[in-house]
Structure 1
Amino acid sequence: MAFTLWAGAPDALAQANITPAAALERLLVSEALEADWFAPVFLAQIPVEQVEIIVAQLRAGLGQLVGVQGSGVNYEVVFEQGVLPAQIVLDAEGRIAGLFFGPPRPKVSGLEEALAPFAELPGQVSVLVLGGSAELAALNPDEPLAVGSAFKLAVLAALRQQIALGQRSWDEVVVLDETWRSLPSGILQEWPAGSPVTLHTLAALMISFSDNTATDALLHLVGRDAVEALTVRNRPFLSTREAFVLKSPANEDLLARWRAADEAGRRALLAEAANRPLPTADVFDSPRALDVEWFFTTRELCGLMGAVYDLPLMSINPGVANADDWAWVAFKGGSEPGVLNLTTALADASGARYCVSATWNHTDNLDELRFFGLYSGLLEAIKQLGASR
């Protein structure tokens, strides 16, 4: 009994004294993970076997571990072929209670190397990197693709125009209308009709949380025609509710008529769509009716971003970028099954400005983590470019 007690005590002491960096390194180099490295609260949500799969995927994609840098809860794990942002929290006994891996950044020598892997993605891909107004890197930048919620940049641009003209103000208060209620993402779909909100609150939720109900509210308030003036291709310009209804498996008849109709016919069908109930969110677990979307080129998205990037609300959610690397980050992305866009405006300490927009469309579900990693490579290449000046 005495031997068992003393044999266990040093192990427990060593576990309690382990640093977060050492815990990360042990996790990422070990062939087999042990359950007692993790707190019960962690294992209640994620089993060890799932963590082992994630670690194996990281090693397969990034190579051997080189080292761990950082402090507190924020770290960068350096591999042979890339850098993995990580956050880790240990409990009082040195067990992992919280663990987060961000999109890995591939090691790249420049924009050309960072751009090349995008061409290998299946489906349709568009990428544009601007430095000021100069094109630094591009892949099909003028091909219109479905961009999901990145379309909300157009709604914000129309709102800003009206505020500049004195037609509206950021502190204008409106009450939520039942007809604006949409599906998540967002939080306003849970709020009762009649709740007072400012236009600024609606805009901030639309951009930072991609709140669909906030978006439909603003589209109604600024007017469909005001947004359509910014994007001739997307007419009639759909609300998120209208898109969900058209895509719903219960509305195949409506979708067929939509596809066959011209612009005038489609506008007439929107009145019918308004009387159909919203589907449940779980029907959208795979690509569906990707022609019912919002279509923009990456060049157009950078143009829209240029009209709104300096608004403080654009920096609430930095997206894939590390806000600490930049003097300013403005971000809006968009996604649904089969559709993914990331659009970021950046400014470095010297004042140099960049826009990075990338879109991926495919008839299958997308590997979002892979796309985030490639996009992070573009941001890393731009950071290196700025540092070399």
Structure 2
Amino acid sequence: MKAVLHSLLGSLLLAATLPASSVFAQSPDSAAPALTTGFDHRAAELLDLFEGRTAFADFFAPSFQAAIPEAQFQAITTSLIAQYGRPLAVDDATSTNGRAGTVQLRFEKGVATFSLDVDAEGRAIGLQLTRFTMTHDSFAAVAAELAALPGRTGFLVAELDGTTIRRLAAANADTQFAVGSTFKLYVLNELAAQVAAGRRNWSDVVPLSHLSFSSTATGNWPKDTPVTLQTLANWMTSVSDNGATDTLIHLLGRDAIEARMRRAGHSDPSRNIPLLTTVEAFALKGNNFTAERAAFVAGDDSAQRRLIDANRNRLILSNVDGISFTNGPRSIDSLEWFASPNDIARAMADLRARGSEPAMAAMAINNGVGPAAAADWTYLGYKGGSENGVLSMSLLGQRKRDGKWFVVTASWNNPKANVGTEDLIGRVTRLLALAAK
């Protein structure tokens, strides 16, 4: 649905921010050290910003304010303070050029690492949470916090030994959740399988045949632009481009991807049959297809497939009612792509076992959590999914210290209200950090 968060951290660029204190931890009566750069100045003002002593409009550059309005910024910081407690002191602030660097801020429950960027005038253009290390953290603590979120949540942390999945921590791991664009893992897997079978090559050039809604890479591109299969795979996986996805679905075959999903061990494949393209799903969810949506939801797999086939010339980008998606979740329990945390782990295991370097590389372009959280991993691949009321994050990693492979996946659905990315991303990053131990 909504283009999967290009990077769940990346899409929170400027948004996943927490309160900070002075760049130099000091007692109130100690002399403040000289601030010589824009980076130093803004880092020192962070506490004042979050406590209201420095105006939002004075601290941030216009580009930041356009991307993240003040009300949204305040909502995010309120949520993150609720997770991690009050900010206490800055333990470290480092910049090599006076314009960009990192700040380690100690909170009541742990230490946050932020990236901070300023423009030539010294106003902040980027403030991003890249890691949070909890004090005395545990899987049980994260599980309790996920369970307290409104709606339904489920997660799984597991070690992969070949195709064997050894559970380390989980909740509702067999429950089906709407997972948004996480379903694109099955498309990537089928593409890799067809290349391995000699039916296709990653370098094959094909037309961008099917345009879709909310496409980060191919939005407004001319139809039938020639692109390689590897380019489509990279776009689909790293920025969750929907036009690239739909082009691949039509090229590989809906039936073939459905069969791949079954072979990968999906526990309830009927939930995703027929496998909808992104534009079909967007169209059916919108106000232009109210009767068709009701019939689709009520039908069995065969009836649903007939409906899609009968309306193939109508379920297209020009008939997507984008306004429909401005008022919260729509049919996320009945018209979506579904998987349990265990299903996603099995899909990740199947993809890894295929041994396709281009497929693995596609997942690693955007690791979803940023460089600091990825530091403990030799390899870290990611696929996420989101729409109104739906958020899913899934990572496949090889642990640096011993070469073992792990899956970390979590999903959150709330049919009554939109879900906050910042409420899930920090907890998934903590699960990843716990797995790294």
Please state which band the TM-score falls in when normalised by the shorter chain: 0.7 to 0.9
Structure 1 vs Structure 2 CA RMSD: 2.7
Matching residue of 1:370: 423
Residue matched to 2:199: 167
1:268-347 equivalences in 2 (<5 Å): 268-276=306-314, 277-285=318-326, 286-290=328-332, 291-309=334-352, 311-320=360-369, 322-347=373-398
Task: Give me the TM-score of the superposition, normalised by structure 1.
Answer: 0.86
Judge conservation of contact 1:148–1:340 (CA < 8 Å) in 2: yes
Distance change >3 Å, CA 47–CA 243, structure 1 → 2: closer
Residue identity in the other structure for 2:110: G
Match for 2:43 among 24, 32, 38? 24
What is the TM-score normalised by the length of structure 2? 0.77
- Secondary structure class of the residue paired with 2:319: coil
CA change 1:360–1:159 in 2 (3 A) is same
Does the 8 Å CA contact 2:379/2:397 hold for their aligned counterparts? yes
Change beyond 3 A, Cα 1:68–1:20: farther
Corresponding position: 1:213 with 2:243: yes
Unaligned ranges ≥5, structure 2: 1-32, 96-100, 263-268
Q: Determine the structure 2 residue equivalent to 1:265.
A: 303
Q: 1:251 maps to which residue?
A: 289
The structure with the largest helix share of the pair is 1
SS in 1 for 2:375: helix
Letter aligned with residue 114 of structure 1: V
Indicate if the aligned counterparts of 1:301 and 1:357 stay in contact, CA closer than 8 A: yes
Aligned-pair distance for 1:214?
Answer: 0.5
Would you say the 8 A contact 2:80–2:423 is kept in 1? Answer: no
User: Could you say if the C-alpha distance between residues 59 and 104 of structure 1 is closer, same or farther in structure 2, counting changes exceeding 3 Å?
Assistant: farther
Larger Rg: 1
Q: 1:224 aligns with which of 251, 254, 259?
A: 254
Q: Which has the higher contact order (CA 8 A, sep 6+)?
A: 2
Report the counterpart of residue 124 of structure 2 in structure 1: 97
TM-superposed CA distance for 1:122, in Å, is 2.0
Change beyond 3 A, Cα 1:122–1:223: same
Tell me: CA distance 1:68–1:26, structure 2 relative to 1, closer, same or farther (3 Å): farther
SS of the equivalent of 2:174 reads: coil
Question: Compared with structure 1, are the counterparts of its residues 250 and 88 closer, same or farther at alpha carbon in structure 2 (3 Å cutoff)?
Answer: same
- Residue identity matched to 2:232: L
Q: Identity of counterpart residues, as a percentage?
A: 34
User: In the alignment, is residue 85 of structure 1 matched against residue 113 of structure 2?
Assistant: yes
How far is 1:23 from its partner? 3.2
Contact 1:124 1:362 in 2 (8 A): yes
Distance in 2 of aligned mates of 1:109 and 1:82: 9
Distance 1:315 1:275, change over 3 A: same
The answer on 1:119 being equivalent to 2:147 is yes
Provide the aligned length of Structure 1 versus Structure 2: 369
Aligned to 1:109: 137
- Secondary structure of 2:292's counterpart equals helix
Question: 1:54, 1:113 → 2: CA distance?
Answer: 21
Deviations 1:262-311 (A, max 9, x none): 22111111123322243243421310011111111111111112233562
Contact 1:202 1:215 in 2 (8 A): yes
- The question of 1:67 aligning with 2:90 is answered yes
Distance 1:21-1:113 versus aligned 2 partners, 3 A rule? farther
Kept after mapping to 2: 8 A contact 1:129/1:356: yes
Confirm or deny: 8 A CA contact 2:279 2:320 kept in the other structure.
Answer: no
Contact 1:29 1:65 in 2 (8 A): no
* C-alpha distance in structure 2 between counterparts of 1:203 and 1:43, whole Å: 31
Closer/same/farther in 2, CA of residues 211 and 91 from structure 1, 3 Å limit: closer
- Change in CA separation of 1:41 and 1:226 when aligned onto 2, cut-off 3 Å: same
Q: Where do 1:33-48 residues align within 5 Å? A: 33-35=53-55, 38=59, 41=62, 45=66
In structure 2, distance between residues paired with 1:261 and 1:40:
52
Query: 1:365 Cα deviation (Å)?
Result: 0.9
Q: Which amino acid aligns with 2:278?
A: T
CA distance in 1, matches of 2:274, 2:393: 24
Match of 1:10 in 2: none
Task: Determine if the alignment matches structure 1 residue 183 to structure 2 residue 224.
Answer: no
**1:87 to partner: Cα distance:** 2.0
Once the two structures are TM-superposed, the CA of residue 22 in structure 1 deviates from its matched residue by: 6.1
